Amino acid sequence: MSHYSAFSIFKQAMRGNRGWSRAWRDPEPKDNYDVLIVGGGGHGLATAYYLAKEHGAKNVAVVEKGWLGGGNTGRNTTIVRSNYMMPGNTMFYERSMKLWEDLSQDLNFNVMISQRGQYNLCHSPGQMDAARRRGNIMRANGIDADMFDRAEVQRRLPYLDYSASARFPIHGALYQGRAGTARHDAVAWGYARAADKHGVDILQQREVTGYLWDGGRIGGVQTSRGDIRAAKVALCVAGHSGHLAQMAGLRLPIETHSLQAFVTEPYKPLIDTVISFGAAHFYISQSDKGGLVLGGDLDMYNSYAQRGGLPIVEHTLSSAKALMPALSRLKLLRHWAGVMDMSMDGSPFITKTPVDGLYLNGGWCYGGFKATPASGWCFAWTIAKDAPHPDNAEFRLDRFERGYQIDEKGVGPHPNAH
């Protein structure tokens, strides 16, 4: 396999780019794997990579129903941050941030992690207080955070609406400088290539249709193209966790909802950071290509359609113009939707399940992308050691029975409100 570098690029260019090899193999499945990961998105591929790299697993496969990164990995708004305040979340997301900071080098694949900072705008004294608590918890845990008042936000982001006609005036912002964006597709491809290099079999175009059982224990999966045996089966299928869990007889504290994303035509640099509006669910950044990437609220109703509705289109764009009036004359190029595992407290699961041999990674709501490295790292640990790492210790399925709800927003068991 080619090692990627400026030198290799040059060398290949001299040969008409005919010498590049496949980024990952397209193998036939073996009869039996130690670990079979269901779902070839960022989380599944990262899990496979860390199983092989950190735990020396030699016999691992990832099975994917479509193409790698074709789910939410390839649909999200690419924001990376670690500004979580609830115990159980804080250090997990910070682990992810640290892995991001080394990811391109680790994978020898430029995932374009761009630490251009993220502002969480506040629009009332109450929001400022809540942001301060979050920022303080971050700092007390060794994570960078700053509070800015209105004047400082205006100095840094002069193009937002500070006029008297702003419906929700900006009072200030919580800022994380290490936050930013990454190139979403590259994350899937980079992990796939690196996992493949460690011997992981990546099996595309195979949809899991059921499980194989050894008595009460999972013994593998049935797929659209034949059975594959495995000692451990690990689900990384956020958006479809409910469906795959149900095949194993599990009901989950998860609903599937659709979340839209938007991109404008490409423009020369306008916004060099990530901005989250505090008066409505809206965030914006600009990609390296120049498209402004906009995210909004859920469509609110359960959906697997990967297609969004007009009310949220209007809602998101009106938030965009309310925040930054200059966006008005720019043009929307494309909008799409992904389907999310919305959990009952807004936080994920990385855990063994009550079914022997079945492991679950899901419930990511719409924060899954930033979690990708730590999710794979912790899930690999959990699968390899049959016990959670301290960083994912609270991402258990029984936390609702215990009362340990990890509710960053405090909205309670309403999946569409997180």
Partner 1 sequence: MIRIECPVCGQRPETEFTYGGDATVRRPEMTNEDPQAWIEYVFMRGNPRGWHREYWHHVQGCRQWIVLERNTLSHEIGQAELARDAARAWSRTSEAAE
Partner 2 sequence: MKRLASGGRIERSEKLSVSFDGRRLPAVRGDTLASAMLAGGLGTVARSFKYHRPRGIYSAGVEEPGALVHLRDGDRHEPNVRATTTEAFDGLTSGSQNAWPSLRFDLGAVSGLASPVLGAGFYYKTFIGPFRQTTRFWKWCEHFIRKAAGMGRGTYRSDPDAYEKRHRTVDVLVIGGGAAGLSAALAAGRSGAQVLLVEQDFALGGALLSEPVGHAGDAWLDESAAELQGMENVRILTRTTAFGAYDGKTFGLIERVSDHVKAPEAGAVRQRYWQVHAHRTVLAAGAIERPMVFGGNDKPGVMLASAARSYLNRFAVLAGDRVIVATNNDSAYVAAAELAGAGAEVTLVDMRERIGPELDELINGAGVKLLLGHGVLEAKGWGRVRHACIVPVDAAGRAIGQKTIVPADLIAVSGGWTPAIHLWSQIFGKPVYDAGGACFVPDAKPEQHIQTAGTAMAAASMADVIEQGFARGSEAASATGAKGDCGPAPVGLDSGRFWQSDFRKTWAVFNLQGKTEGTAFVDMQHDVKLSDIDQAEREGYVSVEHLKRYTTQGMATDQGKLSNLNALSRMAELRGVQVPDVGTTTFRPPFTPTTIGALVGHEHGRHFRPTRRSPIHDWHVEHGAEMTESGAWLRPWYYPEAGESLEAAYVREASHVRAHVGIVDVSTLGKIAVQGPDAAEFLNRVYVNGWKTLAVGRLRYGVMLREDGFVLDDGVTARLAAHDYFMSTTTANAAKVLAMAELMLQTAWADLRVHVTSVTDQWGAIAVAGPNARALLSQVAGADLSREALPNNHFTRAQLAGVPVRIHRMSYSGELAYEIYVPSRQARQVWEALIAAGPEVNLRPYGTEAMGALRIEKGHVAGPELDGRTTLKDLGFEGLASSKKPFVGSVLRKRDVLEDPDRPVLVGLEIEGMSGAKAGALLFPAAGRTEGHGDGWVSSSTYSPALDRHIAMGLLKNGASRRGETVRVVDFVGNEVLTARVVANHFFDPEGERQNG
Q: How far apart are CA 111 and CA 77, in angstroms?
A: 14
- Picked from partner 1, partner 2, none, the partner binding residue 246 (CB below 5 to 8 A depending on kind) is partner 1
Binding mask 255-274 for partner 1 (x = CB under 8 A): xx------------------
- Picked from partner 2, partner 1, none, the partner binding residue 313 (CB below 5 to 8 A depending on kind) is partner 2
For partner 2, the closer CB: 50 or 109 = 109
Other CB atoms within 10 Å distance of the CB of residue 186: 22
| Residue 409 found at the interface with partner 1 (CB under 8 A) | no
Alpha carbon distances (Å) from 54 to 31, 42, 195, 226, 383: 24, 17, 11, 30, 12
Q: List, as one string, the DSSP characters of 359-385.
A: EEEE--TT-HHHHHHHHHHHHHHHHHH
For partner 1, the closer CB: 74 or 239 = 239
Residues 341, 241 contacting (CB under 8 angstroms): yes
Q: How far apart are CA 148 and CA 121, in angstroms?
A: 9
| Residue 309 found at the interface with partner 1 (CB under 8 A) | yes
Binding mask 224-253 for partner 1 (x = CB under 8 A): ----------------x-xx--x----xxx
| Residue 151 found at the interface with partner 1 (CB under 8 A) | no
Least distance from C-beta 230 to partner 2, angstroms? 24
For partner 1, the closer CB: 29 or 308 = 308
Sequence-distant (≥ 6) Cβ neighbours of residue 375 within 8 angstroms: 43, 46, 47, 96, 348, 350, 361, 364, 368
Least distance from C-beta 256 to partner 1, angstroms? 6
| Residue 70 found at the interface with partner 1 (CB under 8 A) | no
Taking alpha carbons only, the member of 146, 145, 41, 132 closest to residue 93 is: 145
| Residue 305 found at the interface with partner 1 (CB under 8 A) | yes
For partner 1, the closer CB: 94 or 341 = 341
Least distance from C-beta 224 to partner 2, angstroms? 15
| Residue 411 found at the interface with partner 1 (CB under 8 A) | no
Q: How far apart are CA 289 and CA 165, in angstroms?
A: 32
State the Rg of the chain over Cα: 21
For partner 1, the closer CB: 95 or 396 = 396
With both helix axes pointing from N to C terminus, report the angle between 184-197 and 368-385 in degrees, rounded to the nearest 10. Answer: 20
> Where along the sequence are the contacts to partner 1 (CB under 8 A)?
240, 242-243, 246, 251-256, 300-305, 307, 309-311, 344, 400-401, 413-416
